A and B are shown apart, each in its own frame.
Chain A
């Protein structure tokens, strides 16, 4: 298994969404911060969200064991739910959001300024779980500007951001309500294009009727213009599991 000073945990929703982005992010981290390992495992947040606290503790301890076995002192996360869950449950490790980290280590040099000529303005959707993290909000805007895209701030933004509709495991419990919340969020912005930094939020924005990308799509997915094909929703639930499996393979490959 080996050891790692720090460990990148991409989280379930991102790995189900796009394994290539996980691969490229890990490569970038490895370049900039040698000594980075990786774990692909759930943090157990969905279990916790349902109210199954005992079960959650049991599950999280498995993840904690993995982290401790690597000897990691720092966890780098790309998901805001992971951020909160791990900050609360792994007191021995320092938990860092990828979005506060990237401004410090920089983007891949070849991407800087790539979007200067793009005709797209991206409305930023902040995740509500880290609404009080100014460094994350700033980091995201720094990234978009560094790439060269124009930004639209929704009426409710940053610390006042509104939920995408996915939070709290409402979708399976009350899908009609969740759909309304999604629609309400997207109706708040003018642009047809939105960028999120959570894969679940991205899917919600698509369900709310927008073209939406994950911020890692912007960093590692080339130039986006109104001509681009925007990622939609998975056709079947199976594709998420296929992606996760691919992700596992890619992580092993990058770190071998």
Chain B
């Protein structure tokens, strides 16, 4: 009924809709989430009291709801539209709520695709290695994880302290790997217990996810004294052993303004230090640590010396005190990290330990002698940012060991990216196609808030009282109660465009949004009925942020249909209109009369 091809200019105009209609635009939270968890979806389910369904929805994307529900740094919340009214939705805590409430291993989906007979080696069981293992195993590949430590989890366990992430949560959620058939070799350090070369021989692909476990130590005067310690070593000990084995003095000072420094200080406080200081060059509002991490640390009687950098560490053969110098500038005019100090403004603090928490480098000794895999600064492995492939074809790398320090969920997203790449590599497929929406991206949604959108304050979670935290690693944050969780879930603004869909009956009968409808129209795949179902009322245009005039397009389509149908509408029902119109112009029912003679007027 339609011509083979629609007129060029009409297609061009319709393509504007296909391009710019925001009907498919994901909510900000989902686009921001490196794993693109359907946040809005599960939050809505929680609001409806459908907790198990909410959990199932999360589990479609990640097997780590309880871990993420506790430690995810929730980049999604930073983009939450509610932030413009009151406070972001408490997404992280909602996730924890359903994980705690209804995650039962008996319900886990342990289906695996057909066995591929391909073998993949994964070095490291941190979040990057774990999610890569999960995905690759689900895809049907044989997966072996090599882990140097006697436990799984990487920095989730030997970085993040147990008072934030209990080990039983890690163990429970990681147990899905073995249930799926992933082989985990603990106490197996690649480079010592097994060579990298051997892995290359025995496996079809390798993922290096070794993290960054070596604290940088500033080479200042006194940094070689006994009592100077690398921050991650303390955390590792606390995470691995019985907590009382960490050797720490009564007075400690942690250097660093990031999240790791906060964890180190809070761990030292729990390990028995009576006086804990943190010194960092940044002022409080410049500190890289998340504001809530700083708040939690300050609550635990930790003294913050923000805007102070270390000058020298003093002592005979062990640390006795540290001299700090006032920082006058952190970043230079170009915005680079380039601290400057006022060396006349000094202060001494008496301490037994100085702990460095100013960043970590990687250890990639096992690659020594293999020039084909390029390394970067800090022994980080060089990768293609799109595929995470190293300079050696069958070797991939990701997580903290392949670039800047990541958030746990970003490390997981790396694991997923690598799994996709390795799967394609093993199948001989193109590694680069369709990879635009992996990891955080910007949504093309433009949501306007209603002026009268009511404020609804965020529901805070309860915390263990401070005096019950000293000397133990009991979990500090509590989960929401069901009524708190539902109340919080109902704060979701359900960001989406689809404003026209709220107005128009007919669009809802035929499409998800004009974007898909016009895609189909251009392809010639829609029935004439659709074009003849538009009331031509412009309601869609009025609410459309792009002011698309859909009715004009439907009208153009009607014209084309008529042209190709002997000048008549193809709709059966319109035969009557034909007759109506003939009569409406016929002499019987029409007349033209001039003004009355006696009332011709002016």
Residues of A that sit less than 8 Å from B by CB:
1-5, 12, 30, 33-42, 44, 46-47, 49-55, 59, 62, 66, 69-70, 128-129, 131, 159-160, 162-163, 165-175, 177-178, 180-181, 184, 241, 244-245, 248, 251-252, 254-256
Contacts and interface: CB of A to CB of B under 8 A. Distances in A.
Most chain B CB neighbours (cut-off 10 Å) among A160, A162, A163, A175: A163
Contacts of B535: 128, 163, 165-168, 170, 178, 181
Given A128-B539, A170-B535, 6 more contacts: A1-B593, A4-B594, A30-B599, A44-B585, A162-B537, A169-B577
B599 A35 contact: yes
B110 interface: no
B585 A174 contact: no
A42 B581 contact: yes
17 contacts: A4-B595, A5-B602, A34-B595, A41-B584, A44-B585, A46-B580, A49-B536, A51-B569, A66-B592, A70-B592, A128-B538, A131-B538, A166-B535, A169-B577, A173-B573, A181-B505, A248-B591
B533 interface: yes
B521 to A, nearest CB: 15
Interface centre among B529, B561, B601 (most CB of A within 10 A): B601
B533 A177 contact: yes
Q: Please tell me the size bucket of the interface on B.
A: 35 or more
B562 interface: yes
A37 B593 contact: yes
B452 to A, nearest CB: 14
Contacts of A131: 538, 542
Contacts of B571: 172-173
B600 interface: yes
Contact of B591 (A69, A160, A169, A252): A252
A85 to B, nearest CB: 12
A222 B333 CA distance: 81
Contacts of A4: 593-595
A195 to B, nearest CB: 19
Contact of B581 (A2, A59, A241): A59
Contact of B534 (A5, A46, A129, A168): A168
A52 B568 CA distance: 7
A51 B559 contact: yes
Interface of B: 503, 505-506, 509, 529, 532-539, 542, 551, 554-555, 557-562, 567-569, 571, 573-574, 576-577, 580-581, 583-585, 588-597, 599-602
A132 B496 CA distance: 27
B509 to A, nearest CB: 6
A52 B567 contact: yes
A104 B130 CA distance: 79
Contacts of A171: 573
Contacts of A33: 601
B600 A170 contact: no
Closest 8 CB pairs of A and B: A2-B594, A34-B601, A51-B558, A172-B573, A42-B584, A163-B537, A35-B601, A168-B536
B503 to A, nearest CB: 8
Nearest to B568: A52
Contacts of A128: 535, 537-539
Nearest to A159: B542
Contacts of B599: 30, 34-35
A255 to B, nearest CB: 4
A59 B312 CA distance: 96
A241 B594 contact: no
B595 A2 contact: yes
A40 B595 contact: no
Nearest to A55: B567
A167 B585 contact: no
* Chain A contact surface mostly: helix
Contacts of A46: 577, 580-581, 584
A105 B150 CA distance: 94
B594 A169 contact: no
Contacts of A184: 505
A256 B600 CA distance: 11
Contacts of B597: 2
B589 A70 contact: no
A51 B569 CA distance: 7
A51 B568 CA distance: 8
B589 A51 contact: no
A252 B533 contact: no
Contact of B569 (A1, A38, A50, A162): A50
A91 to B, nearest CB: 20
Contact of A69 (B503, B561, B567, B592): B592
B529 A174 contact: yes
B125 to A, nearest CB: 57
Contacts of B562: 50-53
Nearest to A54: B567
B589 A173 contact: no
Contact of B595 (A36, A49, A163, A245): A36
B579 to A, nearest CB: 10
A41 B577 contact: no
A129 B539 CA distance: 10
Contacts of B593: 1-2, 4, 37-39, 251-252, 255
A37 B538 CA distance: 34
Given A131-B538, A169-B577, A172-B576, A177 B506 contact: yes
Contacts of A50: 558, 562, 568-569, 574, 577
Nearest to B576: A172
A42 to B, nearest CB: 3
Contacts of A248: 589-591
A208 B198 CA distance: 78
A41 B533 contact: no
A37 B595 contact: yes
A35 B23 CA distance: 54
Contacts of A254: 596
B273 to A, nearest CB: 63
A3 B542 contact: no
Contacts of A241: 583, 589
A166 B536 CA distance: 10
Contact of A30 (B529, B558, B596): B596
Contacts of B584: 12, 41-42, 46
A256 to B, nearest CB: 7
Nearest to B580: A46
A11 to B, nearest CB: 10
Contacts of A1: 592-594
A245 B589 contact: yes
Nearest to A51: B558
